[in-house]
Amino acid sequence: MLRYIAFADDLSAWFGKVFAWGILIMAFGVGYEVVARYLFRAPTPWAFDLSYMLYGAIFMMAGAYTLSRNGHVRGDFIYRLWKPRTQARLELVLYFIFFFPGITALVFSGWKYAARSWRYLEVSSNSPAGVPIFEFKAVIVAAGILLFLQGVAQVFRCILCIRTGEWPKQAEDVEELEKVLLETKSLDVLKSEDEGFLPSRELDAGREPRDRDAQ
């Protein structure tokens, strides 16, 4: 199970990071459109199509990567109070009730949607440029399959947690800035204590009672 989890995590990360480069392409396209439209009065017929198609592709293909890093939004004000085994049991049930049926429907519906688009080589109706969009419809199927594979890895994580009482370690190649800053601050405090001195604010707080006693 651990080998499959590592395989699924690596696969999701590879696709997520490859499609992340689309953000730069999208930003360049939008920036070019702004300059061309407002400085040279020559708007492009393709910038809008480029931006919304790339955004959709990035959004879809980032789903499995975010799932592998436990990064999806979760209402965990109760969930976080439970023991890991209880969390894992609940997640295991919810994956089979909601996740896999939903992703399976996405794959099959997306397949019909993409197949119809490929059959007549669909182009965008939002601009006169006739930008081909049938290739992007295939992203729906690819994203669904990738999410399904990652979902199996998450089920294995739940099973391992139920057995051991601890969640298997998640890959952490990306962390929130707030978390990094808090960890850095904690390390600074520990380092100060090891070296025999505390930050000035803590020293001032420690002096106050003695100053009052002296008065």
Asked if 61 and 142 count as a contact pair (C-beta separation under 8 A), the reply is yes
Whose structure tokens read 């061309």? 36
Burial class (CB within 10 angstroms; exposed 0-12, middle 13-18, buried 19+) of 75:
exposed
Name the pTM for this structure.
Answer: 0.77
Q: Please give the single-letter amino acid code of residue 63.
A: G
The predicted pLDDT at position 65 comes to 94
Q: Which amino acid is at 77?
A: F
Cα three-residue angle 51-52-56, rounded to 5 degrees = 120
DSSP string of 43-83, one letter each residue: --SSHHHHHHHHHHHHHHHHHHHHHHTT-S----TTGGGS-
20 Cβ neighbours under 8 A, 6+ residues apart? 58, 62
Which stretches of the chain drop beneath a pLDDT of 70? Answer: 174-182, 186-215
What token pair was written down for 87? 């969390």
Q: Can you give the pLDDT at residue 191?
A: 65
Q: What is the DSSP letter of 167?
A: P
Structure tokens at 116: 């119809």
Question: What residue spans define the domains of the chain?
Answer: 2-174, 183-214
Closest by CA to 12, choosing from 152, 169, 137, is: 152
